[in-house]
A and B are shown apart, each in its own frame.
Chain A
Amino acid sequence: MMLKSGSMAAALGAGVATLTPPAAQAAWTLNMTPGITEVSRSVYGLHMLMFWWCVGLAVAVFGFMIFSLVKYRKSQGAVPDTSIVHNTKAEIAWTVIPVIILIGMAVPATRTLIETDDASGSQLSIRVTGYQWKWGYEYLDNGVSVLSTLARDSNAARQLQSGIDPKTVPNYLLNVDHPLVVPAGVKVRLLITAQDVIHSWWVPALAIKKDAIPGFVNEAWFKIDTDKVGLYRGQCAELCGRDHGFMPIVIDVRSPADFAAWLKQQKADQDAADAAAKSAAVATS
Chain B
Amino acid sequence: MDVANDETLVEQACDDLSRRSLSRIDGDLGRLIYLASTRDYNTGRYHHDGLAARFGEEITCQALKTMHRQIFYQIAQNSLEQLVMEMERYASSSSQSREEILDVWQKLEPYRVALPVDVNVAVAQLFVSNVKLALAILRRRLELEAREAPRS
The answer to whether A and B belong to the same complex is no
Query: Which residue numbers of B lie inside 8 Å of A, CB to CB?
Result: none
Query: Which residue numbers of A lie inside 8 Å of B, CB to CB?
Result: none
